[in-house]
């Protein structure tokens, strides 16, 4: 699946997009994998105000299923235009 | 009425877009518009990131709500993304309605939302240093005022 980063998170990730294995069951699994593969991202992703969208739909704070998810976006607080 | 929403990675002409938007609209007696420019001074450049597909859908969702609330006949929102320098057009919002009050209100409400809550991530360059920008307390207060007015 595609993992997308925006704003500050993009700088920390070092790219706008990474490809993750399709095997993760939940968002928590993906977060663990990102923490292992991208040092420095773990804290930033857990910060208040960072929102997550799965296939372009915002999801809540709880652990969410990633089954059949194609795209996960991590979004820091939106600045407006 | 479905709002017209576009996020453009390249420069656009607000004049041309507005002319096309108003053409043949004899259903409306008023067209109010707002054009936002990149302000110079301390900021030498700015960059807006958007999430293609998501950003447009969010703008359209809010624009539809506003259009319905004010009986708007046509609503247009074009927003720049990418890197911009002072003087460039960053946003155009325009509304068509039977009378002017509704069109003015719709433009102001959509602009307020675009400025504070639209899914953009903004970076500004000052003295060669880049910094990510988040909404100001004033932006949030302004928005809360509208929420109260429309509640």
- Residue B17's contacts (CB-CB under 8 Å, 6 or more residues apart) are B76, B78, B92
* CA B112 vs CA A72, B32, B58, B63: distances in Å: 28, 15, 14, 11
For the cut 50, the answer to whether the pLDDT of residue B72 exceeds it is yes
In tens, the pLDDT along A45-55 reads: 988 889 999 99
Cβ atoms within 10 A of the Cβ of B58, count? 21
Q: Which CATH architecture has domain A2-75?
A: Roll (3.10)
For residues A17 and A5, give the distance between their C-alpha atoms in angstroms, rounded to a whole number: 6
Domain B4-150 sits in CATH at 3.90.1170.40
Give how far Cα B101 sits from Cα of B5, B6, B104, B106, Å: 22, 25, 5, 9
Cβ contacts of B134 on chain A, cutoff 8 Å: 77, 79
Q: Which of B49, B120, B123 sits opposite A80 (nearest CB)?
A: B120
C-beta atoms of B120 and A4 within 8 A: no
Beta strand pairing call for A71-75 and A57-59: unpaired
**High-pLDDT (> 90) share of chain A, %:** 74
Q: How many distinct helices (H) and strands (E) make up chain A?
A: 3, 5
Residue pair B49/B121 in contact (Cβ under 8 Å)? The answer is yes
CB contact under 8 Å between A81 and B53, yes or no, is no
pLDDT of residue B135: 64
- B8 Cβ under 8 Å from any chain A Cβ: no
CA-to-CA distance for B75 and B91, rounded, in angstroms? Answer: 13
Which residue among B53, B54, B118 sits closest to A81, beta carbon to beta carbon? B118
8 A C-beta contact, residue B134 and residue A6: no
State mean pLDDT over B109-130: 94
B52 touches chain A (CB under 8 A): no
Mean pLDDT of the region B45-49: 96
CA atoms within 13 A on the CB side of B107: 19
Look-up of token digits 């597909």: B53
Please give the Cα distance from B34 to B14 (Å, whole number).
Answer: 9
Domain edges within chain B: 4-150
CA distance A77 to B107: 24
Contact call for A81 and B57, based on CB within 8 A: no
Kindly state whether B49 is in contact with chain A, defined as any CB-CB distance less than 8 angstroms: yes
Convert the pLDDT of each residue in A25-38 to its tens digit: 999 999 999 999 99
Q: What sign results for the dihedral spanned by CA atoms B68, B109, B39, B141?
A: negative
Whether the ipTM is more than 0.95: the answer is no
**What pLDDT does B141 receive?**
73
End-to-end CA distance of chain B: 22
pLDDT at B151: 47
3-state secondary structure of B149: helix
Q: Hey, which residues does A13 pair with through a beta bridge?
A: none
Sign of CA dihedral A65, A68, A74, A80: negative
């Amino acid at each position: 699946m595609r993992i997308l980063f925006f704003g500050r998170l993009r700088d920390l990730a070092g790219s706008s997009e990474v490809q993750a294995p399709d095997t993760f069951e939940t968002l928590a699994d993906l977060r663990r994998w990102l923490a292992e593969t991208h040092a420095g991202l773990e804290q930033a992703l857990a910060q208040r105000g960072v929102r997550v969208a799965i296939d372009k739909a915002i999801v809540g704070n709880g652990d969410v299923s990633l089954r059949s998810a194609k795209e996960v976006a991590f979004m820091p607080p939106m600045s407006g235009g | 009425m479905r709002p017209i929403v576009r996020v453009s990675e390249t420069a656009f002409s607000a004049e041309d877009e507005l002319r096309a938007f108003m053409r043949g609209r004899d259903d409306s007696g008023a067209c109010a518009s707002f054009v936002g420019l990149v302000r110079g001074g301390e900021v030498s450049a700015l960059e807006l990131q958007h999430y293609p597909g998501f950003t447009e859908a969010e703008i359209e969702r809010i624009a539809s709500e506003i259009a319905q609330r004010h009986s708007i006949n046509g609503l247009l929102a074009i927003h720049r993304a990418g890197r911009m320098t002072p003087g460039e057009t960053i946003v155009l919002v325009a509304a068509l309605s039977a009378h002017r009050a509704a069109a003015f209100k719709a433009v102001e409400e959509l602009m307020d939302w675009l400025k504070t809550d639209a899914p953009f991530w903004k970076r500004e360059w000052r003295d060669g240093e880049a910094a990510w920008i988040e909404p100001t307390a004033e932006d949030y207060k302004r928005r809360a005022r509208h929420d109260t007015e429309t509640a």
